[in-house]
Amino acid sequence: MSVKDEVFTLYNGVKIPKIGLGTWQSQDGRECVDAVKWAIQYGYRHIDTAYAYGNEKSVAQGIKESGVDRKEIFITTKIPAQVKTYEGARSHFLSSLKSLDSDYVDLLLIHAPWPWSDVGGDYHEGNIKVWKAMIEFYNEGKIRSIGVSNFQKEDIIPLIDATGFVPMVNQIRYFIGNTQDHICKYCAEKNILIEAYSPFATGEIIDHPLLKEIADKYQVSPAKICLRYCLQKGTSPLPKSVHENRIKENIDVDFVISSEDMKYLDSLKEIGSYKRLRS
């Protein structure tokens, strides 16, 4: 079976295609529309966006122009990081639905546990309010699955304690050399899927000589090594590109990295700059 057809199954039974197109920094308008359209053309069925990206309407347009039925596409969007109220979560989600021209989304995430202007701040109470609004929409059938992004164990526990509802997904910055093993271990224990954003470390590690050595061994690009690594670690990578040839190449990863080479890649620490999200 091709990776294009492979899925992860969330704990509520919802199936999520293993590789998604990331759209962070994809410009609203033709750039994003074409990227989404090309992705679907080449077999992607998972598109990741966010209210904060400002390109939800373009994602919807790209899906429409692809000619593939909306129901075949797994769409993720996010409540903005600075929104920490029940009312704010509801209004932003309804706005996202309108922009996406859909009556539901497949996955809704809290974009971060704190506003980007106050990284590391204590917003547990606000996150609980947002989480409760998301659970309501989930129970109403407007969201097929809910989760978080950039959350650590100490951010997730209050949500579960307050509601009894475990997130289905945690989307984190994850790539060779920065695998955040501590949070991944906790999520595995809770059956929370890890989505890997920035699997190329925002392009920083693509030209690393140690990765090129492995890529040459498998006769593939370093980008494909990055994506295959994420998949074999049990995570769902979200490569971002607006270039048709790269979008096409990024989902063509039907090869296997040996266990020996996976251990070697595991040993490469901080080959991309490590951005601490907490002080």
Question: DSSP per residue over 94-157, as a string?
Answer: HHHHHHTT-S-BSEEEES-SS-GGGTT---HHHHHHHHHHHHHHHHTTSBS-EEEES--HHHHH
Alpha-carbon distance of 266 to 178, in angstroms, equals 9
Q: What is the pLDDT of residue 269?
A: 81
Least Cα distance to 57 among 77, 72, 71, 39 occurs for 77
Work out how many domains the chain is built from and give that number: 1
**Domain with 89 in it: what CATH number?**
3.20.20.100
Is residue 253 assigned to a domain? yes
What φ, ψ does residue 121 adopt, rounded to 5°?
A: -70, 160
Q: What is the pLDDT of residue 274?
A: 43
Q: Which amino acid is at 173?
A: R
Is residue 103 assigned to a domain? yes
- Residue pair 221/215 in contact (Cβ under 8 Å)? The answer is yes
Q: What is the pLDDT of residue 212?
A: 94
Q: Find tokens 């009312």 and name the residue.
A: 87
Q: What is the pLDDT of residue 202?
A: 85
Q: What is the pLDDT of residue 168?
A: 98
Alpha-carbon distance of 165 to 158, in angstroms, equals 10
- Residue pair 167/192 in contact (Cβ under 8 Å)? The answer is yes
CA 227 to chain centre: 13
CA dihedral of residues 16, 21, 24, 25 (deg, nearest 10): -170
Q: In 41-61, which positions are buried (b, 16+ CB within 10 angstroms) versus exposed (e)?
A: bbebbbbbbbbbbebbbbbbb
What φ, ψ does residue 245 adopt, rounded to 5°?
A: -65, -35
Q: Find tokens 């209050």 and name the residue.
A: 158
Q: What is the pLDDT of residue 1?
A: 82
Is residue 150 assigned to a domain? yes
- Residue pair 217/206 in contact (Cβ under 8 Å)? The answer is no
DSSP-based three-state secondary structure for 218: helix
Is 53 among the residues known to form the active site?
Answer: yes
User: Tokens representing 172?
Assistant: 């984190």
Q: What is the pLDDT of residue 279?
A: 26
Is residue 278 assigned to a domain? no
Q: Which amino acid is at 233?
A: K
- Residue pair 88/62 in contact (Cβ under 8 Å)? The answer is no
Domain that holds residue 57: 3-267
Is residue 113 assigned to a domain? yes
Q: What is the pLDDT of residue 278?
A: 35
User: Tokens representing 243?
Assistant: 């270039």
Alpha-carbon distance of 237 to 234, in angstroms, equals 9
Q: Which of 53, 123, 174, 197 is catalytic?
A: 53
Is residue 272 assigned to a domain? no
pLDDT along the chain (279 residues), means of 10: 95 98 95 98 98 97 98 98 98 98 98 97 98 98 98 98 98 96 98 97 90 96 97 98 96 97 92 46
Is residue 276 assigned to a domain? no
Is residue 273 assigned to a domain? no
